[in-house]
Structure 1
Amino acid sequence: MSFVPTTTSTLPAEAKVPVTFAARLKHRLGFGKTTDAVIEENEKEVRALQDAMDRFAAMAGVSTEMLLERLGTSVNGLSDANAAEKLTEFGPNEISSLKPPKWWIILYHCFVLAVSNVVIPPADFKPFTYLMLMLLFGTFTRFYQEIKSNNAAQKLKSLITNTVSVVRCTNALESGSTSLLRIIDQNTVVPGDIVKLAAGVMFPADCVIIAARDLTVSQSSLTGEAAPVEKTADHGNGKGVVLDFPNVGLLGTSVSSGIGLAVVVATGNQTYMSFMAAKLAKATPKSAFDKGVVSVSLAFMTLMAIMSPLVFLIQGFSGQGWLNAFQFALTVAVGLIPEMMPMILNANLAKGAISLIKRKTIVKQLAAIQNLGAMDVLCSDKTGTLTQDELVLSNVMGPDASETTLNPLEWGFLNSCFQTGMRNLMDVAILDAVESHRYTKCTKSLATISSEILLSQFRLVDEIPFDFHRRRLSVIVTRKLDNPENSDSDTISGDAYTLVCKGAVEEVLSNCTEFVKEDGSVVQISGTESAQFIQILDSFNEDGLRVLAVATRSFEQPRKSYTKDDESSMVFQGFLTFRDPPKEDAAEAILLLAKRKVTLKVLSGDNLKVSIKVCRDVGIPVENTVSGLELARMEDVEFSETIEKCTVMAKLSPNQKQQIVERLQKNGHVVGFLGDGINDALALKSADVGVSVDSGSEVAKDSADVILLEKSLLILERGVRKGRQTYGNTIKYIKMAASSNFGNSFSVLIASIWLPFQPMTPLMILTNNFLYDFSQSAIPWDRMDDSFLENPRPWESRDLLRFMILIGPLSSIFDMITFAIGMYYWRWNDSSNSFAVAQFQTVWFFESLLTQTVIVHLIRTEKIPFVQSVASWGLLLTGAVIIAIGTCLPYTEFGVNILGMEAFPRMSYAFVMTELVGYFIVVLLAKYFYIRKFGRWL
């Protein structure tokens, strides 16, 4: 930006990045940059952030006129031509650090992982070359899957629309230009754009607020503070922490209430968020899936750290040579690590995400797929989920519930039309009823009311924006005196200045002192009449109608500004009722979710009786209910017990929705939250899996993990099913790898003590491990049993450890039988007889490969494999191919000359097949007792 900073802002302490231990260690090992270079780079990043904040503070600390002049814009906004030029100059409004890494960076990391497995090459060049070829194959296979996963994730994100309302002028900055409101893609916002602010709007970039009315902003994504902060257009003195400036709205924050205008100052990599992105990413709490994968990786590394030194010492002291012992121990370490795990996990999650697209479900974070399947409680709003989300104006009633003239509707129309915030479904229904002349339930003819006539008679003076505490919105209008042709109109009359209030009935009535009778007279509201109004409201709610109250207040003289305190001593004009029919597929979806053991809880800001009526209409059994007011009076223990047993919780504030989600989590549930409104954002962030819809508010979509292209419980149920299938295939592979590798390590340890030679050559171990991993590469395409998909599946690391310890050593029993047959039946016990040793090693290679391939089918299902449950054709094919390769290897030049194999007697095949059948039976019995004892297999 072309300006000189004149003031200095205080840089947040968290922005100062220390030199990490990892960076110093990397330098000492001779990799990467020197310590001084790392320090210099960190200091450079801090200086860059400080400079950016200084520039931003300089902008925020000047008058609006000077700010707009510096940015080359005006209150009428940029023209399309100006915006296009700036987009070319500044580039798209994207943060590069949040983009996926470039392909060469992924390839580099894959190579580093592969090379790290090779510490010292074997003495023979050929085996070393073969080892490197295997590692390169694994590297490029993982690289391909990483690229594929990243591309899939980006394709998913591109399907989510993020738009912003900006003011654009017609003729650049010419004095006679007019302004238009445009909806543009957030990525095309440029410095100088004037952004319209209203409740629920996300700041698309770093902005300075130039106009505000009752504006509060949620900065929790940057500060962690849940309470919204009041913002004004006061530019202050340009000193202090930028987040504390009264006129600053940064990328990642959102408007909680009020209205205003802001000018974009910095976009993309010049925003505060761009400098803090790495820190924010690290601060993001890991999901249960992420923690589980980390725990599995640590288990493998611990196993490797224990087994390799033991094997090295045993082999060395047994007289097999310390160099050979070292190479063998190193090979065992490499063989214990499932090299294909990153590839298979990424492929599994990416495939699950792509499959969900076909089900109109977009996953923003791949790990959320597991939480979707693990969810056992779904908290959902009512509107649009259980209902069609297509409100229709049902009736217009006077305070005494009699059909009235159109006064309440006319006042409601003016309120909905003139308010500048986000229009909700009720606003749309009111505007549609008047403009399309579809309202017919009135004694007054529609021919006498016209939206054009109403708008020509009145103009907007001021506005008191909606907030979730007041639950109402008011506009102040005055009659246009320059339209004499309308003076004799039969439409509503108005005093000099009229406040028109529309909102929740109780909140509006509590501020009314008078009401309009059917004959048009205005009388005081007595206690009896107040109770009658509430009875009328209850009758509407029992019929499933949503109700708004309309009230007015007249001012003879204009005021400089109007505040919330002016919403008092109002005249109650009447009711507007709306009907939102239940969705046709809601009942089916609820039954399917119940079948999946997902408990549905309805959390609504609407009236309790309306919520109960809708729930019963769609087949939700409503036994216990509670209102937000009742919850607010409860202590912690009573609160927890109440939300556990209640199906419907209504009249909730945004904070109460969040509290309910968090308390359910503390009670041991995996909680999903489905919502699309501004008031759902806090709960969406707190839930284990937040679900919103593409048509929802920007702040709701930003807070969610999963986006539905269509708001439907039926679509969500399909997502739950797919999430469980994805999780099943993931845990299936991890349990296979963990148990198999643990069993192999146990067998190698016993063989090192028992045998006078190595049970397999290093290259045999690597080849065996590679073939086994390859046989599981089709797991992401495997099917899951219907019985598995019926229950929520939370991640349990303890169960994984238990499974590895109890099931893994079963294979070692048959490895020991193979060793015993080789040693005592075939007499392959002479370490000096290389031919006999090669035969022994080849037999164990074949038996180990065969049992590991078969275990895939035993572990993948709780049922009897091949009989009650058959794997997908892909998994069957890869297993058959690997077994065929393992059978043929001893008869190939590659197997003999490179791996050191020898063909073994045909009788050994009979022994191996007998062992395989025995292993099959033993694991089946172990599976039966394991499920009976612990209640689960996968």
Structure 2
Amino acid sequence: MCAQCPIRRHHGYVDSIARAETQDTLSPGLTSAEVAERIARGEVNRTSKDGGRTFGQILRANLLTRFNAIVGALFVLVMIFGAPQDGLFGLVILVNSLIGIVQELRAKQVLGRLAVLGQEPVRVRRDGAETAIAPTDVVLGEVVLLGTGDRIPVDGVLDEATALEVDESLLTGESDPVVKVVGDTVKSGSFVVSGGGAFTATAVGDGSYAAQLVQEASRFSMAKSELQTGINKFLGYITWLILPVGVLLAISQLNAADSFAKAVVGSVAGVVPMIPEGLVLMTSIAFTVGVLRLGRRRTMVQELPAVEVLARVDVLCLDKTGTLTDATMDLKELRVLSGDEQGARDAVGALIAAEPRPNPTMQAIARGVPGDPGWTVTDSVAFSSARKWSGASFAGQGSWVMGAADVLLSTEDAHRAGADELASQGLRVLVLGKVGDLNDFEHAEAVALVVLAQRIRPEAEQTLRYFAEQGVAIKVISGDNAASVGAVAAGLGIPGAQDPVDARTLPTDRAELAEVMETHSVFGRVSPQQKREFVAALQSKGHVVAMTGDGVNDVLALKDADLGVAMGSGSGATRSVAKVVLMDDSFASLPHVVAEGRRVLNNVERVANLFLTKTFYSVALALLIGVAGLPFPFLPRHVTLIGALTIGIPGFLLALAPNTERARPGFVPRVLRFAVPAGLACAAATFGSYWLAYNNPGSDLTANQSTATLALFLTSLWALALVARPWTWLRAGLVLLMVAGFALVTAVPWSRDQFQLNFANPGDDLVALGIAVGMAALLTLVLWLERWLGRRSQVASRV
């Protein structure tokens, strides 16, 4: 289209001639030889960086960590001054680093595949013909074709524009579509709301705005996670604790031990368990396993925290079309209201032919009304979700419009009641109307009702029932007629569906809107901007909001929601802003995502309870031993044994176990409320048993350390049992298995010697057993009181 082509404005929307008279007016695009030259010069849409870390960076990031440095230095000291058995904890460096490296390399591969799966093909014109290529294959000077829903892959200048409207909200933050005409610039990262056109690429690769978006979108991010934030806080506190406590312990051991070597080994044994070296690892494993499990269900998670966020969601906003109903519809009836049926069919066929890229609704009508009458288009208005109608003027045939009945027909129109009656049955009703001018669409003369039957997704009812059972409120938000949406929602058993709300009657004040959103569940005639306002209103009430969608009209809401969920067959724009993509379009996948998120959240909390209990009892025990001036009650091998049986092995199994408990906020204070008293109970039982055994003149250091090991194992085991609640046969079996493991180590002479255990004083060991049981009972009572007081305060706050 040339710059001299006539342009008309219809209610703020720019329209131009929909079809070129001949192909000669269109740019033929680059030739294959020109494309090859540009690729050779590097003028192609590929960035110099992929947004991820290189293999060397991954190695350095996982090997050169603060905790690896601390544990590595302690390992070297033990290898110099102690026995090889006391250096078993050094394996943690190797295992942690190896799993971390493998995990990130695996994540890099997953992201690479996701990038390929998520790429929307770009239509370009080469050698005079249209062809589809990958976004990374676009070269400088390329003629790129645009249609409704397309994401703009590179920067350029428009050569052709047909009623073209572009959403630049991802670039500018402005939600209103921008009308584009020939000569205007378009930027990568924006997308087409309606109309079509073509532009010449002026900036590709690192030179385009897309390069910045790709760098941001392709990172393996674990940001915005309450779990990660909480764990990082713990690690920061622990780092500051280790140094002063370690110095105090080292001084006391130099004074109490009878040799420098024993002092060093004792100090190392006290410092090593303070480091929760496996906590970050277990958290990463739990997240990654969750992502991979969902990947097997054709659910692509673009950021790991998305799994966590959906587990916290308490309001799920659904678009009717493409989520509750199948995107494909069937033409049920063409009900002629005036004139002859053939004339109505010709007008419908001509309007469909005038659309550069028919949407699913137009495609469904085309299947029922085949054939293009060959009318010549002189002017057109493309469909958009904001207008909810499209139209065209034809030489010798007048101007025709087709769109929503409640938009094109006034409430006084005689045909409006019939259209509303059909809509109340869950049918989608469009009006074919004739107008004197496209500017005068509000005075359309109804010629026919185009009635479409919507296909309910077979999995929708069961999936909605699952969310209702889980206490997740459903809000159906659609651009369709409110009565039609309400009928579909009622058929699926959604509470409140009998009272649908027409969004055009809603207040604009956010507080007032939030009140309506709280009391209603079905909304029709919702504009794209209103969807965004709905999300903000619900969030203002403290809700964690997930939004599903598949069309360009859903992008703004998907971007603002706590979690955006896109359909795999949806537009490239929706997939680019969503955190979760359902690649097979199955709404039934969402319960699996919720369940996986809950498994990750709850299991990581269990693991954190175990690791931080060990940290707190290690710090408390080091302080008690340091103040008392006693030799440290453990060798590093004792700490390794107890850690493996009460934390490492059960923690790994618990992190991957099924868990469907409802997610709750407050991860950090809840973990502290368990780990602090549990750690103090373990330290008190261990120190009391060790101190009594140490003051027994008939006992030696090895027997004393064995008594302390028994006391710590028993109290730590009870902490594990409390963490594993609610008990099941599998969890009870896990605890009993750890008991059997400890019993086996102490019963077999070789392993008993390797771990230097000697229960030569049964009296001291029985005392240790009694103290451990007493502290376990006290810990249980303290935790019960804490929960009881917490429930009372909640009741009081509600009153």
TM-score normalised to the size of structure 2? 0.84
Equivalent in the alignment of 2:428: 546
Higher relative contact order (CA 8 A, sep 6+): 2
SS for the counterpart of 1:605 is: coil
Instruction: Tell me by how many angstroms 1:429 deviates.
Output: 1.0
Matched, 1:166 2:123: yes
Tell me the equivalent position of 1:802. Answer: 673
Cross-structure match for 2:505: 630
Which structure 2 residues correspond to residues 525-924 of structure 1 after superposition, within 5 A?
530-553=412-435, 565=439, 567=441, 570-622=444-496, 624-631=499-506, 633-761=507-635, 765=639, 769=643, 774-776=648-650, 778-779=652-653, 782-784=656-658, 788=661, 791-794=662-665, 796-825=667-696, 836-849=700-713, 851-853=715-717, 855-861=719-725, 863=726, 865=727, 868-871=728-731, 884=744, 891=751, 895=755, 904-905=760-761, 910-911=766-767, 917-918=773-774, 921-924=777-780
Q: Is the 8 A contact 1:508 1:550 kept in 2?
A: no
Structure 2: state its 5+ residue gaps.
Answer: 1-25, 793-799
The one-letter amino acid paired with 1:390 is T
- Give the partner amino acid of 1:604: S
- The answer as to 2:129 corresponding to 1:179 is yes
Task: Give the counterpart letter for 1:138 in structure 2.
Answer: V
What is residue 481 of structure 1 aligned with on the other side?
Answer: none
User: How many Å apart are 1:549 and its aligned residue?
Assistant: 1.6
How do residues 299-378 of structure 1 correspond to structure 2 at under 5 angstroms?
299-306=234-241, 308-310=243-245, 312-313=247-248, 316=251, 320=255, 332=270, 334-378=272-316
* Counterpart for residue 192 of structure 2: 255
Kept after mapping to 2: 8 A contact 1:196/1:260: yes
CA distance in 1 between partners of 2:142 and 2:774 (Å): 74
Q: 1:334 to 1:123 in 2, by over 3 A?
A: closer
User: Closer, same or farther in 2 for the Cα pair 1:638/1:607, shift >3 Å?
Assistant: same
Query: What is the CA-CA distance between 1:732 and the residue it aligns to?
Result: 1.6
Counterpart code for 1:424: N
CA distance in 2, matches of 1:794, 1:413: 55
Task: Identify the residue that residue 403 of structure 2 maps to in structure 1.
Answer: 503
With 387-396 and 323-332 compared, the bigger mean Cα shift is at: 323-332
Deviation of residue 431 (structure 1)? Answer: 1.0
Partner of 1:195: 144
Which residue identity lines up with residue 95 of structure 2 in the other structure? Answer: G
> Structure 1 residue 714: deviation in Å?
2.6
Query: Contact 1:775 / 1:875 at 8 angstroms: preserved in 2?
Result: no
Aligned to 2:91: 134
Partner of 2:167: 218
**Identical columns (%):** 22
**CA distance in structure 2 between the aligned counterparts of 1:608 and 1:142, rounded to whole angstroms:** 52
1:274 aligns with 2:224: no
Q: Is 2:176 aligned against 1:205? A: no
Aligned to 1:833: none
Q: Partner letter of residue 62 of structure 2?
A: C
Note the C-alpha offset of 1:379.
0.7
Aligned partner of 2:388 in structure 1 is: 471
1:410 aligns with 2:346: yes
Task: Say which of 55, 59, 63 aligns to 1:103.
Answer: 55
Q: 1:881 to 1:679 in 2, by over 3 A?
A: farther
Contact 2:404–2:430 (Cα < 8 Å) also in 1: yes
Cα distance per residue 1:708-755 (max 9 Å; x no partner): 133344321222122212222122212222233223322322232234
Q: 1:128 to 1:146 in 2, by over 3 A?
A: farther
For residues 324 and 607 of structure 2, the distance between their equivalents in structure 1, rounded to whole angstroms, comes to 38
Contact kept in structure 2, 1:502 and 1:549, CA below 8 Å: yes
Q: Secondary structure of 1:532's match? A: coil
More deviation in 276-285 or 920-929? 276-285
SS of 2:731's partner is coil
C-alpha contact 1:207 1:262 (8 A) present in aligned 2: yes
Structure 1 residue 932 displacement after superposition: 4.2
SS at match of 2:285: helix
Q: Give the aligned residue type for 2:211.
A: S
How far apart are the structure 2 equivalents of 1:194 and 1:433? Answer: 35
Alpha-carbon spacing, 1:311–1:166, altered in 2? closer, same or farther (3 Å): closer
Aligned to 1:233: 182
Given residue 169 of structure 2, which amino acid in structure 1 is its aligned partner?
S
CA, structure 1 residues 195+316, in 2 after alignment: closer, same or farther (shift >3 Å)? Answer: same
Q: Give the conservation status (yes or no) of the 8 Å contact 1:724–1:792.
A: yes
With over 3 angstroms needed to count, the CA separation of the structure-2 counterparts of 1:797 and 1:893, relative to structure 1, is closer
- Please tell me whether residue 427 in structure 1 is matched to residue 349 in structure 2: no
* TM value normalised by structure 1: 0.72
Go from structure 1 to structure 2 and tell me whether the alpha carbon gap of 1:684 and 1:300 turns closer, same or farther (over 3 Å shift). same
Whole-angstrom CA distance in 2 between matches of 1:345 and 1:269: 35
SS of the equivalent of 1:750 reads helix
Aligned CA distance change for structure 1 residues 797 and 331 (closer, same or farther; 3 Å): same
Please say if residues 338 and 773 of structure 1, whose CA atoms lie closer than 8 Å, have aligned partners that are also in contact: no
Q: Counterpart in 1 of 2:80?
A: 125
Look up the SS of the partner of 1:573 in the other structure.
Answer: strand
CA distance in 2, matches of 1:95, 1:600: 41
Write the distance in 2 (CA, Å) between the matches of 1:285 and 1:310. Answer: 32
Cα distance change on mapping 1:136 and 1:575 into 2, 3 Å? same
For the residue of structure 2 that corresponds to 1:474, the secondary structure is: strand
Using the TM superposition, give the Cα deviation of residue 630 of structure 1 relative to its aligned residue in structure 2, in angstroms.
2.1
Name the structure 2 match of 1:43: none
Aligned-partner Cα distance in 2 for 1:92–1:921: 69
- Structure 1 residues 286 and 536: alpha-carbon distance in aligned structure 2, compared to 1, 3 A threshold: same
Q: How far apart, in 2, do the equivalents of 1:880 and 1:706 lie?
A: 43
Matches within 5 A, 1:510-529: none
| Counterpart residue number, 1:48 | none
Gaps of 5+ in 1: 1-73, 173-177, 235-245, 436-450, 479-493, 511-526, 556-563, 829-835
Which residue matches 1:394? 332
Q: Is the 8 A contact 2:191 2:573 kept in 1?
A: yes
Letter in 2 for 1:189: V
**How has the CA–CA distance of structure 1 residues 796 and 217 changed in structure 2, closer, same or farther, with 3 Å as cutoff?**
farther
SS state at 1:100 partner: coil
Relative to 1, partners in 2 of residues 1:774 and 1:783: Cα closer, same or farther, differing over 3 Å? closer
**Is the contact between residue 154 and residue 209 of structure 2 (CA under 8 Å) also seen in structure 1?**
no
Q: What's the counterpart of residue 107 of structure 2?
A: 150
- Superposed CA deviations along residues 362-408 of structure 1, whole A, max 9, x for unmatched, are 211111111111111111011232223331111112347xx951333
User: Quick one: which amino acid aligns to residue 77 of structure 1?
Assistant: G
Corresponding residue SS for 1:390: strand
Distance 2:336 2:409 in 1: 13
